[in-house]
Structure 1
Amino acid sequence: MAEREKGTSIRRALKVLSAFSLEESFLGVSEIAKKLGLPRSSVHWLLQVLQDEGYVCQDPKSGKYRLSVKLFHLGAIAANTMNINYVAPPIMERLRDLTEETVNLYVLDGFDRVCIEQAEGIHLVRQVVRLGQKIPSYCGAAGKVLVAWQPEDFVDRLISHTRLKPLTKNTISDVTLFKEELAKIRRQGYAVSFGERDIEVVAVAAPVFDEEGKILASLSASGPVSRFEITPQVIEAIMNAASEISYQLGYSKDLEAAMSGGKD
């Protein structure tokens, strides 16, 4: 069989598997042929191959087919690797190599953010955050990203709890300005900060979404204000890296649709 014909057969077999759904978990040959627009004979042959290889089973009473436990096993393997601590590090390291600055991954813990993964910058003088360290979430690019996609009631409770206490002269401590900043972050899909938590540090961050389109983490690059320049290229690199992590975690919707969050 020619390579192109092999490729066509593989694609058709995958389409047959994709024809099954929660609503249609049992399908007959004719039903699959109609859904896919394929000849009934071709579908029958593909199902026989898939059954021989253990990917589908035929119900002896109805004659219809269903997906087998082998696919469940493969799904479990895939789910095991769809873990942010597994997916993120190589992407973070590439981003670190590109920016030459420290790249951190943060998640929310109450009203704080916690660093769960890190790729240290290449310079001797660099921004240092310890793994597991808690930092207020209302200041700094990474924290603002995490807060920007939270429900409004969470934001109000955060403001009430922290009073947006200034950590530097650049911390956004006005409630109206803070909420405007969050809306801006959702619109543009990223956040920047200039000395909001540490007066000598600048940062840029973008959201990481889970398979349901909910924010899971924020990915940031940060460095000394004297060296790290947040250019459009750096912003694009951060957003692309965050998008890649999201995709590998199962997020497949259009990123911009999630970024709007339905809040504006």
Structure 2
Amino acid sequence: MTSTISTVPGQRHDKPASAASKAFAVQQAFTRISATGSVHSLRGIAAAAGLDDATTHRILQTGVEDRTFEQVGRGRYRLGTGTALAGLQAMADAPSPASTHSTLVTLHEATGGLVLLYVLSPFGGAKRLCTDYAIGDTDPAEVGMTAEDVVSVSRSLRTGASGRVILAYLPQKIRDLVLAEDVPPTAGPGVIRCNERLADSLAEVRRLGFAIGRQECMLGWDSVAAPVFWQGSIMGSVLLLRPANDMPTDLRPMIYHTRKAAEEISQLTPAPMAPVA
């Protein structure tokens, strides 16, 4: 998908002054116009960066050499693998497993529920992966959790509270791709199949800062989930699971403890939390 847009409505960007700031402006321009596709024209990139075409062209060509950008055909560009590698290097400062696990254990002890930590995985399409959990002495098999539940159903961002709180803060382009996916056939009876209702639920997540799931991923299990941010970007979610017949009518304590855990994990890094537009 290509883009020939020349501006982004409703956004105003001052022209960068130094050479370094101009280079960063070009890289950030791809994020500003990402909703229109992954491949963009020179003119569209220049307009989003607030630069003239000649300056933008020089920066893009320099970036092609170190794989920050990739030229696709004549006069069209997209972000290159060098950008992803830089992101991986930055991940070295992410919260340690030991510090996050202690937060999950505290949430489990405070609520008596099963607690899972999901992280966003963009490789092979946006999805979520469970990287840690705190379930006490519970055997997942004894409560009906199978490998299929963990690997296939839980993977989709459109299925369950933990997926929806991640999806809510992703760029619109990625949200559209996820909404185009099929609902996993083994999802629970409460899964939101209508894309219009799902989109409405994402707006509600952004307004409230959490999501409630009623047997979305698995039959007989309700959930509360809250987003985890890292340096201002959505990176995952904390999920609290309890049997539907054991979930309290008053969910405020469950919501409070789940949000507190997610905020604590987010604050393990120095940058403040902020949703991605």
TM-score range, shorter chain: 0.5 to 0.7
Q: 1:204 to 1:239 in 2, by over 3 A?
A: same
Q: 1:177 to 1:93 in 2, by over 3 A?
A: same
The equivalent of 2:257 in structure 1 is: 237
Larger Rg: 1
Once the two structures are TM-superposed, the CA of residue 170 in structure 1 deviates from its matched residue by: 1.6
Once the two structures are TM-superposed, the CA of residue 225 in structure 1 deviates from its matched residue by: 0.6
Distance 1:203 1:114 in 2: 17
Distance 2:136 2:150 in 1: 18
**1:97-246 equivalent positions in 2, closer than 5 A:** 97-109=109-121, 110-121=125-136, 126=143, 128=145, 133-134=151-152, 135=154, 136-162=156-182, 167-211=187-231, 213-229=232-248, 231-246=251-266
Distance 2:136 2:230 in 1: 27
Q: 1:127 to 1:251 in 2, by over 3 A?
A: farther
User: Are 1:88 and 2:100 matched, yes or no?
Assistant: yes
Distance 2:109 2:128 in 1: 24
Once the two structures are TM-superposed, the CA of residue 132 in structure 1 deviates from its matched residue by: 7.3
Distance 2:233 2:93 in 1: 19
- Report the AA paired with residue 145 of structure 1: V
What secondary structure sits across from 1:248 in the alignment? coil
- Report the AA paired with residue 106 of structure 1: Y
Unaligned runs of 5+ in 2: 1-90
Once the two structures are TM-superposed, the CA of residue 111 in structure 1 deviates from its matched residue by: 3.7
Q: 1:129 to 1:207 in 2, by over 3 A?
A: farther
Distance 2:220 2:93 in 1: 37
Root-mean-square deviation (CA), in Å?
Answer: 2.6
- Report the AA paired with residue 173 of structure 1: R
What secondary structure sits across from 2:216 in the alignment? coil
Q: 1:176 to 1:252 in 2, by over 3 A?
A: same
Tell whether the 8 Å contact from 2:159 to 2:183 is kept in structure 1 after alignment: no
Once the two structures are TM-superposed, the CA of residue 231 in structure 1 deviates from its matched residue by: 1.5
1:125-144 superposed Cα distances (whole Å, 9 cap, x missing partner)? 64647697342221111011
Normalising by the residue count of structure 2, what TM-score does the alignment of the two structures yield? 0.58
Once the two structures are TM-superposed, the CA of residue 80 in structure 1 deviates from its matched residue by: 6.4
% identical aligned pairs: 25
- Report the AA paired with residue 151 of structure 2: Q
Q: 1:183 to 1:166 in 2, by over 3 A?
A: farther
Distance 2:92 2:129 in 1: 23
Tell whether the 8 Å contact from 1:164 to 1:173 is kept in structure 2 after alignment: no
- Report the AA paired with residue 114 of structure 2: T
What secondary structure sits across from 2:116 in the alignment? strand
Tell whether the 8 Å contact from 1:127 to 1:223 is kept in structure 2 after alignment: no
Tell whether the 8 Å contact from 2:213 to 2:224 is kept in structure 1 after alignment: yes
Distance 2:207 2:184 in 1: 22
Distance 1:139 1:106 in 2: 13
- Report the AA paired with residue 228 of structure 1: M
Tell whether the 8 Å contact from 1:126 to 1:223 is kept in structure 2 after alignment: no
Normalising by the residue count of structure 1, what TM-score does the alignment of the two structures yield? 0.60
Once the two structures are TM-superposed, the CA of residue 248 in structure 1 deviates from its matched residue by: 0.8
- Report the AA paired with residue 92 of structure 1: L
Aligned pairs, number: 178
Tell whether the 8 Å contact from 1:102 to 1:127 is kept in structure 2 after alignment: no
Once the two structures are TM-superposed, the CA of residue 163 in structure 1 deviates from its matched residue by: 5.8
Q: 1:123 to 1:92 in 2, by over 3 A?
A: same
